[in-house]
Amino acid sequence: MEAERSAYRYDMVNVRPGYIVVEHEVQSKAMRAYFSPDPVAPIEEYREGNRTWKHTATAQSIRFSIRDARTGEVASFDELLGLAFYGSCPKGSEVWEIGDLAQEHKVSIYVAVTGEAADGTRGGLAVEKLRVLNRYFNERLRDREKKILILPDRFGLYREFSHGHIMVDLGLTAMD
Amino acid sequence: MTIKDLAEKLHLKTLNSVADRPVTGVYISDMVSDVIANAKPGNVLVTVQVHNNVIAAANLVDVSGIILTRGRKPADDMVALAEKAGIPVLLTDLNSWQVASMLFEAGLR
């Protein structure tokens, strides 16, 4: 059967369900988050050198790639933990203030929050990938005046991860 | 059919401005990641979730409106956020299955 032809230049492909696992280090209280594609979210405590990591929270989420139909290129977004909408951030925070100003002009601000690499370093989303992500969502908007603007995480939002500002399914059963 | 037509036809309670936005289909989900990956622009989103992130996801994929089922009442800040984003929020005491059946009967697929 022939695959359905998309009306758009960009399409979301290779969508994989999984979990964002948030954990903390027992001594230093450092926190980090990563994506797990396992069928069951890992919650076991483990040692890494002289550091011990314990489970803090789990959220259901997805991993995906975006394919450019014009070039055939597929960009993977494995480093993306989630998107944070300005309106889900605390009122008075930098993101909220910028977002609230922009929303008056029908520009919706989101922040792309990335996770840590295996070596503990944190790289943002490459500008070219941000461009692709912005194009993907904007080309689907039906209101020509409306815009989605996804920014790099220059706000340190990854630290707020376990507070539910990021669009993942944290506390799904709590419904609060 | 527009979201305004739907609100009238299904006797939904409106919590903010309801524009004449065309409805292209229906998506039912309580997971924001699922909405981001699978809802289509113009869909009406049927959910029990009242977290602000539902507005975030609905706005990102440009749904025509949100129907909150089973009498779930959102906080005032969620409604204010939806208003700013131009997303109508509608309420019903019916459950998602009953709403889905009525949307189907109304001709939406």
- Reading chain B (109 residues) residue by residue, the pLDDT tens digits are 999 999 999 999 999 998 889 999 999 999 999 999 999 999 999 999 998 899 999 999 999 999 999 999 999 999 999 999 999 999 999 999 999 999 999 999 8
Burial B30-55 (b: 16+ CB within 10 A, else e): bbbbbbbbebebbbbbbbbbbbbbbb
Note the pLDDT of residue A100: 97
Chain A nearest-CA distance from B12, in A, is 21
**H or E element: which one contains A148?**
strand A147-152
Tokens 């979210």 sit on residue: A41
Q: A62–B34: do the CB atoms touch at under 8 Å?
A: yes
Digit-coded pLDDT (tens) for A75-88? 999 889 889 999 98
Note the pLDDT of residue A175: 38
Query: What's this model's pTM, rounded to 2 decimal places?
Result: 0.90
Residue of B nearest to A87 (CA): B81
Structural tokens at position A9: 């230049």
Quick one: what percent of chain A has pLDDT higher than 90? Answer: 53
Q: How many CA atoms lie within 13 A of A151 on its CB side?
A: 19
Indicate whether A11 pLDDT > 60. yes
**Positive or negative torsion for Cα B101, A140, A156, B85:** negative
Closest CA relative to residue B90, chosen from B3, B11, B15, B5? B15
Q: How many helices (H) and strands (E) does chain B have?
A: 5, 5
Chain A nearest-CA distance from B102, in A, is 25
What average pLDDT does the segment A86-109 reach?
95
Q: What is the ipTM of this complex?
A: 0.94
Digit-coded pLDDT (tens) for A48-80? 999 999 998 888 889 999 999 999 999 999 889
From chain A, pick out residues whose CB is under 8 angstroms from the CB of B69: none
From chain A, pick out residues whose CB is under 8 angstroms from the CB of B30: 172
Q: A146–B86: do the CB atoms touch at under 8 Å?
A: yes
From chain B, pick out residues whose CB is under 8 angstroms from the CB of A137: 60-61
Chain B nearest-CA distance from A33, in A, is 17
More confident residue, A84 or A119: A84
